[in-house]
Amino acid sequence: MKSRSLTLIRDELVDYDKAMSRMTDLVGRRQRDELDDTVWLLSHPQVYTIGRRTPRTHLPDPAHDIPVVETTRGGQLTYHGPGQLVGYLIVRLGSDEGVVDYIREVEHRLIGALTTLGVPAERRDTPPGSELLTGVWTSHTNRKIASIGMRQSRGVTSHGFALNVDGDLRPWTWAIACGLPEVDMTSVARELGANTSMDQVCPIVAEAFEATVQIR
């Protein structure tokens, strides 16, 4: 995995629609070389996001009153909420890279961060004909702890990852997450059996992505 230093933007809770607007602006600036490669770390209020291929049968019961928003990233249904660290990655790909290559890198960087936190983790290859297993899984308990959905436009990536830190995991059970009906979603706090805060996790994730210079 090659070295790739990123500029860090750190926010707390940002509405999903507002985040998408700013992400689009950041991507445009990166395409024009007005911005360095950047990772934006933040969280969202409760929302389900769906990709273009998400079946309607995977959506949550509306009685839970959590908005469902269609997005431009790849992948299936994902849940966002407080206690989850979202990382939007605005990165110019090399001439020999595709977005799938970068997703593999993101998986390995998240595995490194989780290892530092004391949560053994791994990535998985997708068997032919199966739903994509993109993301990060716990090695000992066989649970999914991070989801990844990305796209690229004019050589620059957008969207990114969602790492469950210490949020409520029940909303994951109210829909079919990641196109995997049997998936057991977990969090850093659940795996460690201890209180874990975003303030503890965020610097470790930033370091894993070689993000040291913070801007607003």
122: phi then psi, degrees, rounded to nearest 5? -155, 160
Q: Residue 211 and residue 18: Cα distance in Å, rounded?
A: 23
Q: Which residues contact 75 (CB under 8 A, 6 or more apart)?
A: 51, 132, 134, 147, 148, 149, 178, 179
Given the residues 26, 113, 162, 178, the one annotated as active site: 178
Helix intervals (H) in 99-197: 99-117, 188-192
Q: Residue 204 and residue 86: Cα distance in Å, rounded?
A: 14
Helix (H, G, I), strand (E, B) or coil at 200: helix
Pairing verdict, β 38-43 and 84-90: antiparallel
Least Cα distance to 35 among 63, 7, 16, 13 occurs for: 7
* Catalytic annotation present for 178: yes
CB atoms within 10 A of CB 92: 17
Supply the residues annotated as catalytic: 178
